[in-house]
Chains A and B, each alone.
Chain A
Amino acid sequence: MSLSAGDVLPEQTYTVTRADLVRYAGASGDFNPIHWSDRVATSVGLPGVIAHGMYTLALAARALDTWAGGPGRVVELGCKFTKPVVVPDDDTGVDVVVRGTVKEVTDAGAQVALEVTCGDQKVLGMPRAVLRA
């Protein structure tokens, strides 16, 4: 896929359920109980179980792979973790939406400004990436 400055990339929506968080805990080795126990999550002041910030960033990377036409093209990726993604204990889960705009294309690659939201809230701060040209 050829990217040009100003391109608005097709929005990607991913549904996150509790089962996804359990699977991610196992795959990543991050077993912090705030990502699977309501009891622990609420005891530290959270509304309930939240997604791993790195899981949400992995969803942004998944969107980048889709836009780039395959894996292995991300040369830089980063964000701040600003708002938690609260994942309900039901079969429906919650939707995370990833949007992207190409800011600039240089020899270093395509700089992509991302927006990652859950409901009407941005859950990642200044998420950005560079895709190999």
Chain B
Amino acid sequence: MAVDPSLAGRTFPPTPPYPVSDERLREFARATGSTYDGESAPATFPIVVAFQAMTGLMQDPAVGIALHRVVHGDQRFTYTRPVRPGDVLTATLTVDSLRQIGGADIIGTRSEIADADGAPVCTAFATLVHKGEDA
């Protein structure tokens, strides 16, 4: 089943506030072998919050996505500043584009990640490939 065609252009509610602790950043840096200097998060850390936003989209029953058919096609981040310990982040996901190719839905998403003051921190762009039953 294809996803709801009216999905394109829709913005979903922000994710619950995510407090970024020093220990969370140490854990993420350890897991990726990265250096953590106590100030700047590893560059891909915002995926943790963006992933929550994407999960919200994929689990919304009105959208019609079957989770096990989703492949992460691409990912891009643009940073206003690095994530820092003490940040409280939210991600607000918008479906920028929706195309169908060969029975698959190609869903272009943009998650705006902001701090507690609403100031932008990072934008995470992800393409989700949702394979249809016959794909």
Footprint of B on A, CB under 8 Å?
A: 14, 20, 23-24, 26-30, 44, 53-55, 57-59, 61-62, 64-65, 70-72, 74-81, 125
Whether A23 pairs with B31 at a CB distance below 8 angstroms is yes
Task: Output the least CB separation between A67 and chain B (Å).
Answer: 12
Which residues in B have their C-beta under 8 angstroms from that of A76? 76-79
Q: Which residues of chain B are within 8 angstroms of A72 by Cβ–Cβ distance?
A: 37, 39-40, 82
Please give the distance in Å from A128's CB to the nearest CB on chain B.
9
Flag if A24 contacts B74 (CB, 8 Å). no
CB-nearest residue of chain B relative to A24?
B31
- Contact between A79 and B75 (Cβ–Cβ < 8 Å)? yes
Q: Which residue of A lies closest to B28 (CB)?
A: A27
Residues on the B chain within 8 Å of A53, using CB: 72, 75
**Cβ–Cβ < 8 Å partners of A78 in chain B:** 74-77, 125
* Chain A neighbourhood of B77, CB < 8 A: 74, 76-78
Contact (Cβ within 8 A) A77 B76: yes
Which A residues lie within 8 Å of B71 (CB)? Answer: 81
CB distance from A66 to the nearest CB of B (A): 8
In the complex, A14→B33 CA distance in Å?
9
Tell me the bound Cα distance from A65 to B43 in angstroms: 9
Contacts of A30 in B (CB 8 A): 51
Indicate whether B59 reaches chain A with its CB closer than 8 angstroms: no
Q: How far is the CA of A28 from the CA of B44 in the complex (A)?
A: 10
Q: Report chain A residues within 8 Å CB of B78.
A: 75-76
Q: Is B30 an interface residue (CB 8 A)?
A: yes
Q: How far is the CB of A120 from chain B (nearest CB, A)?
A: 22
Which 10 A-B pairs rank lowest in CB-CB distance, beginning with the nearest? A78-B76, A72-B40, A27-B31, A58-B32, A61-B43, A74-B43, A80-B74, A72-B82, A23-B31, A58-B44
B31 engages A81 (CB within 8 Å): no
Q: Which residues of B contact A20 (CB under 8 A)?
A: 31
In the complex, besides A59-B33, A71-B39, A79-B74, 4 extra interface pairs with C-beta distance below 8 angstroms are A62-B32, A71-B34, A76-B78, A77-B77
- Closest approach, in angstroms, between the C-beta of A99 and any C-beta of chain B? 17
